[in-house]
Amino acid sequence: MERNAQLRLDLPSDQDASGRTLGLEEIARLSDAIDTGTLTSTKGNFVKEFEQQFAQHLGSRFALACSSGTAALHCAFAAVNPNPGDEIVTTSITDMGALTPILYQGAIPVFADVDRHSYNVTADSIERVLSDRTRAIVVTHLFGNPCEMRDILALAARHNLPVIEDAAQAFGATYDRRPAGTLGTIGCFSLQQGKHITTGEGGIVVTDDESLARHIYLFINKAWGYGDPHPDHYFLALNYRMTELQGAVAVAQLPKLDDVVYARMASAARMTQFISGLPGVTPPTVAPNACHSFWKYCLHVDGNQIPGGAVALAAQLKARGIACAPRYIQKPAFDCQIFRQQRTFGNSRFPFTLARPEAVDYSRSRFPETYAALDSVLVLPWNENYTTEHVDYIATSLREAVAEVIGDAV
């Protein structure tokens, strides 16, 4: 272990400047925004410029910026306008920010199982939990790896259901050569600190549907009809606006996105090549018609070959300065208290009080792939500033870790 400690290499981190592309361009745009003296997007131009450029970048008709990725998803859920007790099918492996907005709209998140290798929902797992109350389907392109969208979109079309893409981690990912976020009815992105491009916090929603875009725009703006002949607050909504300061940074960040994605893909390809054939460890599983944009680099660890599995490997890698995460979110989202104890509004348990028993049945037997996926996944940090030296260090450390764990068990 002393030899490895001496060779320890500090890795760039997306939590500070070492792993980010923030620089003079962002400073110049921020200065311009401050010089205008207008920092609200209702009067300024930077957020509007970002929206126009992002829509053009993806080939979407409409793009609407907001305050966070959670806000982006809340806008999407509000736009499909569920009634209290309606159901929105989603994934069991996701951030809570993708789930609480469903509850705030009075709807019930219904969890679909995932594929244990891609960690994504599938058409089959979604179909098993559909009901006559289903109002929408959420697909999360986890870690930047697109879901198998052909079958999911065909399923949604048969049931006349909108598909909301959670592309928070999937900037630059593609499926059938189309950008993630543009295949379904609505696409949602996050600009949080660790995403491919960042404004610290922020989000943006894309759609080709004019009526949905109108609803999303209003929901961002307390449902106030800016510019209308007789504006009013048309329905219940919040203030989810992005500030001009965030917009200025976003305008500077967006031109860097393609290079960021290319750098991540190139370094990930090197990593995959380097660890090919490593016993008990499988690189990310990507559909042949998909392009992974590597928000993170995830390993599938076979506990039958690696004693102690992902947790044991993680301990070895952390000792070498690699801030990896076994199990990712530690437990399925439905195992959190908000679902298990139905902690929502006061003591009301609303909207769970409107749920079908099957919709809130979180029995382990219903999610075998979810538990298998979390037991086996090891999430490695990844960003655009990794050099070949960084990748080789991670790959070499992984090889050493595997050898050490297997050796210790002999």
pLDDT for position 7: 67
Per DSSP, the residues of 222-269 read TTB-TT-SS--B-SS--B-PPPHHHHHHHHHHGGGHHHHHHHHHHHHH
Name the 3-class secondary structure at 299: strand
Are the beta carbons of 218 and 195 closer than 8 angstroms? no
The gap between the terminal CA atoms of the chain, to the nearest Å, is 18
CA distances from 281 to 85, 177, 200, 215, 346 (A): 43, 29, 34, 46, 46
Counts of helices then strands in the chain (DSSP H, E) = 14, 14
pLDDT for position 4: 45
pLDDT for position 58: 98
Q: What are phi and psi of 169, to 5 degrees?
A: -105, 10
Within 10 angstroms of residue 409's Cβ, the number of other Cβ atoms is 10
pLDDT digits (tens, 9 = 90+) for 84-94: 999 999 999 99
Q: What tokens appear for 8 in the block? A: 């320890």
CA distances from 219 to 98, 100, 138, 224, 228 (A): 17, 16, 19, 8, 15
Instruction: Please state which CATH number belongs to domain 24-256.
Output: 3.40.640.10
Within 10 angstroms of residue 45's Cβ, the number of other Cβ atoms is 16
* Separation of alpha carbons 278 and 258, rounded Å: 31
One digit per residue, the tens of pLDDT, for the chain of length 410 reads 334 444 689 999 999 999 999 999 999 999 999 999 999 999 999 999 999 999 999 999 999 999 999 999 999 999 999 999 999 999 999 999 999 999 999 999 999 999 999 999 999 999 999 999 999 999 999 999 999 999 999 999 999 999 999 999 999 999 999 999 999 999 999 999 999 999 999 999 999 999 999 999 999 999 999 999 999 999 999 999 999 999 999 999 999 999 999 999 999 999 999 999 999 999 999 999 999 999 999 999 999 999 999 999 999 999 999 999 999 999 999 999 999 999 999 999 999 999 999 999 999 999 999 999 999 999 999 999 999 999 999 999 999 999 999 976 43
What contacts 375, CB < 8 A, 6 or more positions away? 303, 309, 310, 327
Residue limits of CATH 3.40.640.10 in the chain = 24-256
Residue limits of CATH 3.90.1150.10 in the chain = 2-19+257-329+371-409
* Separation of alpha carbons 313 and 318, rounded Å: 9
Question: Global pTM?
Answer: 0.96
Instruction: Please state which CATH number belongs to domain 2-19+257-329+371-409.
Output: 3.90.1150.10
Name the 3-class secondary structure at 360: helix
pLDDT digits (tens, 9 = 90+) for 212-235: 999 999 999 999 999 999 999 999
pLDDT digits (tens, 9 = 90+) for 16-54: 999 999 999 999 999 999 999 999 999 999 999 999 999
* Separation of alpha carbons 253 and 198, rounded Å: 7
